[in-house]
Structures are given as C-alpha cells and as structure tokens.
Amino acid sequence: MSSIDETHDPRRTSWVASAQGHPEFPIQNLPLGVFSPPNGSPRGGVAIGDQIFDLQAGLEAGVFSGAAAAAAEAAAGAALNRLMALGGNPRIALRRRLSELLSADGAERRKVEPRAGQLLHNAADCTLHLPAAIGSFTDFFAGIHHARNGGMRRDPNNPLNPNYKYVPVAYHSRASSVRPSGVPIRRPSGQRKAAEDDAPIFGAAQKLDYELELAVWIGPGNELGQPIPIAEAGEHVFGLGLVNDWSARDVQGWESQPLGPFLAKNFGTTVSPWVITTDALAPFRIAQPPRPAGDPRPLSYLWDETDQETGAFDITLEAMLMTEGLRAKGLPPHRMSASNTTDLYWTLAQLIAHHTCGGCNLGPGDLFGTGTISGPTLEGYGSLMELSGDGQRQITLGSGETRTFLQDGDEVIFRAHCRKAGCVPIGFGECRARIA
C-alpha cells in the first residue's frame, strides 16, 4: 500500500509558478494522463499547475534513471497501460523523481528549469485523451443511498434487493463508448413505454440523466482463473478519476427486465482524463465507515481488517450543471449536489476481490465505475432521477430555468477534491460533457 513520504510534504513547493496554491494540481498531486501538444501526437504527461510535464521529452533530456526511467518509458506513449501493468514500485519511483525534478528546493532544479520550454506545455493549448486503452468497463452499484433511492420506486418498504448488503452488485458495461472529458454526448434513442401505454414506442430518450461516480483504474490485474485475495486487492488499484455514467431512464425502465441496462447505458460514458494515483491519495485514506447496526458482516473472501482500517478515501464530490440560460446571463454552473466517497457501501478492494473471485481476469487499464455516489439527503443526490423524484419535482436553477432531466445544450460538470488539515489539497480536474 502506498505510504506517506517526502512527496506529500506540505512545505514542498514547485518552481512551476502556477502550481503554487493550484486547486487541482499542486506538486503534491502529480496525476498521470495522455495529451497531445499543439501539432503533436498523443503522449504521456503529468499535470503540474497549469502545465503538463512531457514524459517523452524528459526521457530525451536524460532526466530519468533506474526504476523511474523504466516507469517513464512505460508511461510516455499514447496509453498508460504499460505503466499500469508494472505495479506500485516503479510508479512510486517515477512520482518521487518527478517531485524532485519539479521541487523549488530540489537539487535537480538547475538541470530542468532551463529546459522548461522543452519539458512543459501549457495545458490550455493541449488536447487530453483517454488515459488508457480500456479493455473492459464494469459498473458497480456501491452507493447505497442511490440504490435505496432507486428502489423506493419499486418497493418503499424494501427498497434494497435482498442481495445488496452481501454482494457488490455490478454489470459489465460498454468500454467502446467511453470518451474523455469534453467530448459531446448525443441523446440516444431506444424503446420506452409509459405505465399507461399499451405498447412501447421508439424515439429519442426524454429522461436523459447523469450519474456521479468514481472511476477506478486497474493496475496489474490477474490471470484467468486466479482470484485476487482481498488482502492483495488494493494493490491492483492504479489510481482514481471521475465517471459520468450517462443514463436514459425511460429506456432503462422498459428494457432492464430481466437482464439490466443495455441501450440505456451503452451510448456513452464520460471519464476524467487525469488519473490521480493511489500514491497521491495516501494522506486521504481513512477507515471504511462502519456498517449500520444489524447489517451483515461481509463474507470472509470480502473481509480484511487492514482494508477496513485504511481502504476508504475521503474525497468530496460535486455535480454542476451549465445551461443555455445560465450562459446567456453570464452565470456560473449551478451546483446540483455534493457528496463524499464515504457514502460507498463497499471498499475498492472489495469490488476487485468480488470481481475476480470466480476467476474473471482483470487487465491493466480496465475501468470500474463505483456506481452513483449519493449522500443521505437531497443535497447529496448524485443523479437527476433522485433530485427530481423521477420527474415529479422541478429543480430551479440560478437562471430561473427548471429541470427534471437534461435538455439539449446542457453541460454536466463533475469535480472532486481531497482536503485534510496539515495536507495540501489536491483535485481531480473536471469530468464534463455537453448534450449535443
């Protein structure tokens, strides 16, 4: 498990001026991603303030050696999969070397700062891509408040299915339609049937929704037929990001019986481009919140004391909405909700242990969505289905507009931050997309 070291020191600053007090990417963060500079090809990079450190340029300049060089070479191409496959030690070596190179007080500053024009690119001038080639995408249902809110429509007295507190519920989603932040989403079409109608109709979805989720990027993974034990599962988390699991609720309601979502989910998923490594998140690890009295203890293959003590994260999440009316009035995005990853019922290690317990293989660059992370009250609901009561409540925005579900031209923006006394806050960057 990643530990706290000199790279997390709150006294450490960077010679990259924009990194000082940066709300997302101070030197204590150093997230990894894939970008294209102007007129350049996709390559691996590291966010530092408003700049991107070019790993390929760093290799050409000879600023890496040993394990850090091997990691930089694995991360310098058009996808991070090779680095993800290497496990934690090379990734940590790369992080430590980058922190040393970018530190204002580092011994290497005089070697790299004069080469800033070669090594750094203005992030605003670059294009960000998916950080990895995604082999498989699994969407979990680990946000218990969201699960309960959805189940209330089915059975107010028993909103959770009987298996919910025993099984980390999930379904296999569509990796081919995952896109990076900023790529527009087209409103999907499908069959939908209102309760009062005799037969379904086909057409554009009317109840287009977002779902605020955490992205989990898988590291080394496992061979087919070889389960990952719960005590080792956390080591297979490479890093985290944000996922918008777009959902067509009217299509979903008709098609989901008996096998679950299909066209309601496969038309597009948006993921944030920067991967916040588990190493950067080490100071923000916390104990998994205790289960309510009377809830069953997880089965033995899902239970590890260390995971319960340190396997959760304290990450605040926000969902924002920008509309044509807000733009016309020069207003900022409207904050729809705020929640926290402590509202997840299962740890990430439990998700991995369950996913592989039957022998299913995970590979470097596979992606998990945690499921919608909603808080226990209306202010924390992570989807419009919850906020509007499936269309029964109008949500009034700062512009005076109202919404129950998304309209064309609406842009959904997710943000996440880690804050703790004595630590430098870090952010995830944005996960955003507009309905075309």
Rounded Cα gap, residues 31 and 274, in angstroms: 6
Identified catalytic residue from 146, 236, 334, 355: 146
Rounded Cα gap, residues 103 and 243, in angstroms: 31
Rounded Cα gap, residues 141 and 390, in angstroms: 18
Q: Are the C-beta atoms of 214 and 240 separated by less than 8 Å?
A: yes
Rounded Cα gap, residues 94 and 66, in angstroms: 10
Structure tokens at 12: 């450490």
What DSSP state is assigned to residue 264? Answer: T
183: left (phi over 0), alpha (psi -120 to 50) or beta: beta
Q: Are the C-beta atoms of 201 and 193 separated by less than 8 Å?
A: yes
For residue 126, the one-letter residue type is C
* Cα–chain center distance at 341: 11
Three-class HEC string of 47-104: EECCEEEEHHHHHHCCCCCHHHHHHHHHHCCCCCHHHHHCCHHHHHHHHHHHHHHHEC
- For the question of residue 146 being annotated catalytic, the response is yes
Query: Would the CA dihedral through 351, 384, 416, 410 be positive or negative?
Result: positive
Give ∠ CA 324-325-328 in degrees, rounded to 5.
85
Structure tokens at 393: 């409540």
For residue 386, the one-letter residue type is E
Can you list the alpha helix ranges (DSSP code H) found in 144-245?
A: 144-152, 230-233
Structure tokens at 59: 């290799």
Q: Would you name the residues annotated as active-site residues?
A: 146
